[in-house]
Amino acid sequence: MGFSGQNVSCLYHFNMSYFPWLTILVVFPIFAGSLVFLFPYKGNKTYRWYTICISLLELFLMTYVFRYHFQFDDPLIQLIEDYKWIDVFDFHWRLGIDGVSIGPILLTGFITTLATLAAWPVTQNSRLFYFLMLAMYSGQIGLFSSRDLLLFFLMWEFELIPVYLLLSLWGGKKRLYSATKFILYTAGSSIFFLIGVLGIGLYGSNDPTLDLGRLINQSYPVTLEILFYLGFLIAYAIKLPIIPLHTWLPDTHGEAHYSTCMLLAGILLKMGAYGLIRINMELLPHAHYIFSPWLVILGTIQIIYAASTSFGQRNLKKRIAYSSVSHMGFLIIGIGSITNMGLNGAILQMLSHGFIGATLFFLAGTSCDRMRLVYLEEMGGISILIPKIFTMFSSFSMASLALPGMSGFVAELIVFFGLITSQKYLLMAKMIITFLMAIGMILTPIYLLSMLRQIFYGYRFFSVQNSKFFDSGPRELFLSICILLPIIGIGIYPDFILSLSVEKVQAILSNYYQK
């Protein structure tokens, strides 16, 4: 069992279109969002509808580009655009879509569009709020489609600005503390990211390159490759997050507006996982082979630790935040398994958790806004008052605890099989890890069902109800159903998603094993 020395550059065929579709997908949201500042003030409703229309138009444009310009029958053939940007440094605006990135990009379009709809109640400085959401939209699409390492880093950093402002201006009482903690964690880790980018780009030749397609064939001394790997891993460990670098996440989710939480849980966390696959796995296979057992161990610890910690959280949104940390453990294990099944399961878990986590934060936020409460022990009995929200909250909680027939079950099951079938680990080690993962899966329904009991059952809050308390409206119900449908669709027919990534995953893993 070793590494293949075969040249895989043949997997990166150029499918240049005369029309710069990918560039438009990246630039359009922030450009259209900046126009909102030119509008005369005619009330918040104008900005809301404009932002929703821009998000929808971007999603439709994205669907059109993938439908008519992407080779679904051969996901290894990319849709690529390459334009020289800065001659002095040979820096290119290089974008590309393949089987690994198409899922996160579509997830970004879908969740961001619904998050703009969820932000309808925002009235304070709404013009800036909606611009920042569209700026995040551009940055996330840009990161998932970057095929240049420095461009990847720039998009990674670009996300920090709108997230920081959304946290610090539209958050709870401790919003400044949470925003500062977020920026210190993520900006500090970016130093290691930048060192890794420059080191890989400048290493070993008179012709430095940052083209991901060419860097796949680059080899490094093992010690240097390990250093590069660690530098990138620190940045990803904070974004994912991986314990013990996760402490910014509960504070951030606890204070952020629920529409911002949708973007954080649905998309931002997936940037770390995507980078771990796109850069660490694909460019640094020797180091990933060495570190993969530690990733599996960390992922297992994370599942149990975060699930146990979630059960002890009094704040509703912090309980869901620790739930997200726990579910990211399955993703880490899938990446560390170094198997086709495990990596495909990790990619499916990215999408599944993006749908489920975003909606749980939306429902938690709307419930807290109605009750004017955030602590679980003060709630109780509101299922009588808001039966529609109760039904949706229960449905998405079932999806989160991996109920069969929903996407969470399929994703976690595939990760299980990926670990069990891995040739890298001894049978005893796989049995121990699988047993511990099962314990984590048992803890998940405990804290989720306990959360449902504390919010919806009993009589505590019901006894102090007031006449202004109302159930879910058409907007909230529409948003929840829009996300519930793909969760059930993936749970019933996951092959629709897996067929996009399976060929690309096989190409990535060809660097690890001789065929």
End-to-end CA distance of the chain: 10
Q: What is the pTM of this model?
A: 0.92
Within a domain: 75: yes
The per-residue pLDDT for range 267-301, each reduced to its tens digit, is 999 999 999 999 999 999 999 999 999 999 999 99
Name the residue with tokens 């397609």: 213
Report residue 483's pLDDT band, with 50, 70 and 90 as the boundaries.
Answer: very high
Axis-axis angle for helices 149-158, 175-202 (nearest 10): 170
Query: Which tens digit of pLDDT belongs to each residue from 129-168?
Result: 999 999 999 999 999 999 999 999 999 999 999 999 999 9
Q: Where residue 515 falls among pLDDT bands split at 50, 70, 90?
A: very low
Tokens of residue 221, six digits: 């001394």
Query: Is a pLDDT exceeding 50 seen at residue 266?
Result: yes
Q: Residues 296-322: what's their mean pLDDT?
A: 93
| Nearest C-alpha neighbor of 307 from the set 288, 292, 320, 293 | 320
- What tokens appear for 230 in the block? 């660690």
- Amino acid 386: pLDDT: 86
Rounded CA gap, 138 and 129, in Å?
A: 15
Asked if 151 and 23 touch (Cβ cutoff 8 Å), the reply is: no
Residue 122 lies in a domain: yes
Give the separation between CA 246 and CA 185, rounded to whole angstroms.
9
- Residue 71 dihedral angles phi and psi, to the nearest 5°: -85, 90
Burial class (CB in 10 A: 0-12, 13-18, 19+), 290: middle
- Per-residue pLDDT at 7: 38
Secondary-structure percent of the chain, ordered helix, strand, coil, rounded to 5: 70, 5, 25
Q: pLDDT-based confidence at 503, cuts 50/70/90? A: confident
Q: Residue 248 falls within a domain, yes or no?
A: yes
Count the Cβ atoms, other than its own, within 10 Å of residue 229: 24
What is the residue range of 169's domain? 9-509
pLDDT, tens only, 378-427: 888 888 888 999 999 999 999 999 999 999 999 999 999 999 988 888 88
Does residue 345 fall inside a structural domain? yes
As a whole number of Å, the CA-based R_g of the chain is: 22
pLDDT at 5 over 50: no
Inter-residue contact 411 to 401 (CB < 8 Å): no
Q: Please indicate, yes or no, if residue 2 is contained in any of the structural domains.
A: no
Mean pLDDT of 323-342: 93
Average pLDDT over residues 240-263: 91
Q: How far apart are CA 401 and CA 397, in angstroms?
A: 6
For 60, list phi and psi in degrees, rounded to 5: -65, -40
Query: Buried (b) or exposed (e) across 334-360, using 16+ Cβ within 10 A?
Result: bbbbbbbbbbbbbbbbbbbbbbbbbbb
Res 1 pLDDT > 60: no
Question: 438 φ, ψ to 5°?
Answer: -65, -35
Is residue 515 one of the residues assigned to a domain?
no
Summarised one tens digit per residue, pLDDT across range 196-208 is 998 888 885 667 7
Query: 105-109, 348-352, 492-496, 510-514: lowest mean pLDDT where?
Result: 510-514
pLDDT for res 158:
93
- What does the alpha-carbon distance between residue 435 and residue 111 come to, in Å, rounded to a whole number? 34
Helix and strand numbers (H, E) in the chain are: 21, 2
Q: Do the domain assignments include residue 3?
A: no
Q: How far apart are CA 287 and CA 511, in angstroms?
A: 12
Most confident listed range (73-77, 200-204, 437-441): 437-441
Cα separation of 460 and 482, whole Å? 32
Look at the chain and report how many structural domains it folds into: 1
pLDDT of residue 206: 65
| 236 is a domain residue | yes
Q: Under a CB-based contact definition with an 8 Å cutoff, are residues 515 and 5 in contact?
A: no
